[in-house]
């Protein structure tokens, strides 16, 4: 996560070189499901992001500029995610965004952040958030988890190697 934030901060400096002279905080939007059914994912993600920023700021920030995270709670709701992304882009004037937490919220905001040219690193698991589809390719949207297709292949190879023939999947519905 620290490397991720460093990359986003450097992207921000390139995109907005005037920030380096003013020593103003580098604003990065960070929105996760902090409440609702996916809070168990969003809350720790927020804590790790804040820990990484605190460490970077403790070491002097980026070229003497502190990083400031601007948080938002999507509640796992795509409509709320879009409203928060618009606020980050047009009101808070963030240079980059981290999040959201769920594939549905990521799908809801990816066109918006792409059109606004705001680098966005999503913490969602679903591959569709990085695929262009009918809207073309995305150049400002990335995700941190491995691609689902790669993970499934590796797990399948491991199970075959171990001779495992039956698999159970546990999931939560709340």
Strand, helix or coil for residue 147: coil
Domain membership flag for residue 166: no
Instruction: Please state, as a whole number, how many other Cβ atoms lie within 10 Å of the Cβ of residue 123.
Output: 25
Can you list the positions of beta strands (E) in 15-104? 26-32, 67-73, 96-98
Q: Over the stretch 22-68, which tens digit does the pLDDT of each residue have?
A: 589 999 999 999 999 889 989 999 999 999 999 999 999 999 999 99
Q: Which residues contact 158 (CB under 8 A, 6 or more apart)?
A: none
Looking up residue 78, the CATH number of its domain turns out to be 3.40.50.2300
Q: Over the stretch 114-132, which tens digit does the pLDDT of each residue have?
A: 999 999 998 876 666 566 6
Domain total in the chain? 1
Q: Considering the entire predicted model, what is its pTM?
A: 0.73
**Distance (Å, whole) CA 87 – CA 91:** 5
Strand, helix or coil for residue 4: helix
Domain membership flag for residue 79: yes
Domain membership flag for residue 42: yes
Strand, helix or coil for residue 146: coil
**Distance (Å, whole) CA 99 – CA 144:** 10
Domain membership flag for residue 172: no
Domain membership flag for residue 173: no
């Amino acid at each position: 996560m620290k490397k991720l934030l460093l990359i986003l901060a450097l992207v921000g400096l390139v995109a907005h070189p005037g920030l380096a002279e003013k020593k103003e905080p580098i604003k990065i939007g960070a929105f996760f499901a902090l409440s609702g059914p996916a809070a168990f994912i969003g809350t720790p993600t927020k804590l790790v992001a804040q820990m990484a920023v605190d460490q970077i700021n403790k070491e002097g920030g980026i070229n003497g500029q502190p990083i400031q995270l601007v948080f938002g709670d999507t509640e796992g709701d795509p409509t709320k995610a879009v409203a928060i992304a618009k606020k980050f882009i047009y009101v808070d004037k963030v240079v980059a965004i981290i999040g959201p937490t769920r594939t549905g919220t990521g799908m809801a905001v990816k066109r918006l952040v792409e059109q606004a040219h705001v680098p966005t690193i999503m913490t969602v698991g679903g591959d569709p958030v990085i695929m262009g589809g009918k809207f073309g390719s995305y150049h400002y949207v990335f995700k941190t988890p491995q691609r689902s297709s790669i993970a499934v292949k590796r797990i399948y190879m491991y199970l075959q190697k171990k001779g495992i023939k039956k698999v159970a999947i546990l999931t939560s519905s709340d």
